[in-house]
């Protein structure tokens, strides 16, 4: 039996005359919302966006990473949008547009207070097929491939945390940067880091480690 849609998500959608059954579906235990309904929520909530910060961009390599900031009045949220060959299965040739959609949708759901309760269809290729095409049970062949291809060793994040500590930030500053590293990997906690998004977390941390010390204020807090 599918896990029921969180009441906070349902109430927000109904508030804006959006039918939850049309806007969302359960994808193997994760509730997903179509991108077009994220845009409707943004308009209804009065969300505005700052110009994006381009972190990485290569049309040739089909790799784009941007940071988007959204606002409702004085309330602000930000998120990364990543597009690369490994996660552009359904949108090859449009890395900029896909990175923008992913970043904006996350910001919209965060500002609306429902991110984590529901995810945008743009956040994972597995979501793109929609409810009618999603498979509830993998075939025997798929199970064998999954078992034989999965890494056998768990991810140890102690080394990643140690890299952040080496920067010399205060405890608060290190924790703040750690949360940003998790966000860069599309996670909200270390439990959501896996072998697929771990490289994004490591890439973010390494970039911060190699930055000039002038990027940090005298109190050791991230600017």
46-68 per-position pLDDT tens digit: 999 999 999 998 878 889 999 99
Here the tokens at position 135 are 């498979």
Among left, alpha and beta (phi > 0; psi -120 to 50; other), residue 93 is left
Helix (H) or strand (E) holding 63, with range, is strand 63-72
Q: What is the pLDDT of residue 110?
A: 95
Q: Summarize pLDDT for 71-110 with one digit per residue, the tens.
A: 999 999 999 999 888 887 755 668 888 899 999 999 999 9
């Amino acid at each position: 039996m599918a896990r029921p849609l969180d009441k906070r998500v349902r109430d927000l959608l109904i508030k804006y005359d959006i039918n939850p059954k049309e806007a969302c579906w359960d994808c193997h235990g994760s509730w997903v919302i179509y991108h077009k309904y994220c845009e409707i929520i943004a308009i209804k909530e009065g969300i505005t966006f700052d110009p994006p910060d381009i972190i990485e961009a290569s049309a040739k390599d089909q790799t784009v990473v941007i940071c988007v900031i959204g606002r409702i009045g004085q309330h602000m949220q930000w998120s990364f949008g990543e597009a690369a060959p490994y996660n552009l299965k359904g949108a090859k040739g449009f890395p900029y547009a896909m990175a923008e959609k992913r970043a904006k949708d996350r910001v919209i759901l965060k500002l609306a207070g429902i991110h984590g309760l529901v995810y945008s269809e743009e956040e994972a290729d597995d979501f793109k097929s929609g409810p009618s095409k999603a498979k509830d049970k993998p075939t025997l062949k798929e199970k064998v491939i999954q078992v034989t291809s999965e890494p056998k060793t768990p991810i140890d994040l102690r080394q990643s945390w140690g890299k952040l500590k080496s920067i010399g930030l205060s405890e608060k500053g290190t924790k703040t940067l750690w949360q940003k590293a998790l966000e860069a990997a599309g996670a909200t906690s270390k439990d959501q880091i896996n072998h697929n998004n771990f490289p994004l977390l490591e890439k973010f941390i390494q970039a911060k480690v190699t930055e000039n010390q002038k990027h940090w204020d005298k109190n050791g807090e991230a600017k």
